[in-house]
Amino acid sequence: MSDLKDNRLVRTFAELRGAGRKALLPFVTAGYPDLATTGELLKDFESRGTRICEIGVPFSDPIADGPTIQASYTDALAAGVSSDGVFDMVKSYRAGGGRMALAAMVSYSIVYHHDAEEYLAGAAEAGFDAVIVPDLPLGEAGAVAPLAASHGLCNVMLIAPTTPPRRRLEIAENSRGFIYYISVAGITSERDRLPDAAIAAVADLRKHTGTPVCVGFGISSPDMVAMVCEAADGAIVGSAIIHRITDAKDLARDQLVRKVGRFVGELLAPVL
């Protein structure tokens, strides 16, 4: 399998690690509240120092997303957001000079429906650097990961608290770009704190792999970002950001972008 050393996501983590720094990975739903706003949010996040961003591709039956992200997917789909529209938005971001590493959080149902080869080629052409397919089991990843790599894409895999130790190492061995460690069993949502066991598990995992480990699910404040990044290479924040987009939906686009961007700036503070 390709080592993907020229991949933007791989390079970014290598640069951060070389500088002794960690990453914040904000999550946005593509097309929520509309694709133009998503593009503006990406530019704002980058201007504040964000190096990596996750983009959720709306799907009618998400695997582990809580009500906040599910509602954003529902609204985006109702507005007609499609994979082609998401790709066009990313192309526009790249054409405007956007340099963040971008990872698509996408259901395998969407990838399969479009034909895996065609979808991954389209994602790479648009300017994505990685795909995160939460409903792709390890056994099926053996076919998808080389296909993704052939298009220069990392196939990021997930490890849950319930994943047995041996299987964790197998997933870590097959994940490219970074390993997505799910901090708690259940669905995404904002939480006041994360289990101590999650931080200990990440610290242990990093002893066995050189691949960066990032923690998601439940991170909602700068203090939590700082706590996670004591052990992990990065912190993923989704529901807390989507919550603030929802609260600002009735504002003008530039006001929404500034308001959400300020929150992302606060989350970035511990890792800048």
Determine, yes or no, domain membership for 1. no
Determine, yes or no, domain membership for 3. no
Determine, yes or no, domain membership for 228. yes
Domain that holds residue 119: 8-271
Q: Cα–Cα distance between 19 and 139 in angstroms, integer?
A: 35
How many domains are contained in the chain?
Answer: 1
Question: Does the annotation mark 65 as catalytic?
Answer: yes
Average pLDDT, the chain: 93
Determine, yes or no, domain membership for 2. no
Catalytic, out of 34, 40, 44, 65: 65
- Res 186 pLDDT > 60: no
User: What percent of the chain is modeled with pLDDT above 70?
Assistant: 94
Residues 131-166 pLDDT 10s? 999 998 888 887 899 999 999 999 999 999 999 999
Of 69, 11, 42, nearest to 264 by C-alpha is 42
Q: How far is CA 125 from CA 132, 168, 242, 251, in A?
A: 17, 31, 27, 33
State both tokens at 116. Answer: 């895996």
**Amino acid in the structure at residue 179:** I
Helix (H, G, I), strand (E, B) or coil at 256: helix
- For the beta carbon of residue 207, count every other beta carbon within 10 angstroms: 6
Q: Cα–Cα distance between 187 and 177 in angstroms, integer?
A: 23
Determine, yes or no, domain membership for 211. yes
Q: Which band of pLDDT confidence, cut at 50, 70 and 90, is reported for residue 208?
A: very high
Helix (H, G, I), strand (E, B) or coil at 222: helix
Backbone angles phi, psi at 55, to 5 degrees: -120, 120
Tell me the CATH number at 207: 3.20.20.70
Mean pLDDT of 190-194: 55
Give me the pLDDT at residue 192, please.
56
State both tokens at 60. Answer: 């009618």
Q: Cα–Cα distance between 10 and 27 in angstroms, integer?
A: 18
Determine, yes or no, domain membership for 79. yes
246-260 in b/e form (b: 16+ CB < 10 A) is eebeeeeeeebbeeb
Catalytic, out of 40, 54, 190, 233: 54
- Res 3 pLDDT > 80: no
Q: Cα–Cα distance between 207 and 180 in angstroms, integer?
A: 16
- Res 1 pLDDT > 80: no
Question: Does the annotation mark 140 as catalytic?
Answer: no
Determine, yes or no, domain membership for 236. yes
Q: Cα–Cα distance between 230 and 264 in angstroms, integer?
A: 19
Determine, yes or no, domain membership for 244. yes
Cα 27 to the center of its chain, rounded Å? 6
Evaluate whether 245 touches 256 at the Cβ level (below 8 Å): yes
**Amino acid in the structure at residue 241:** I
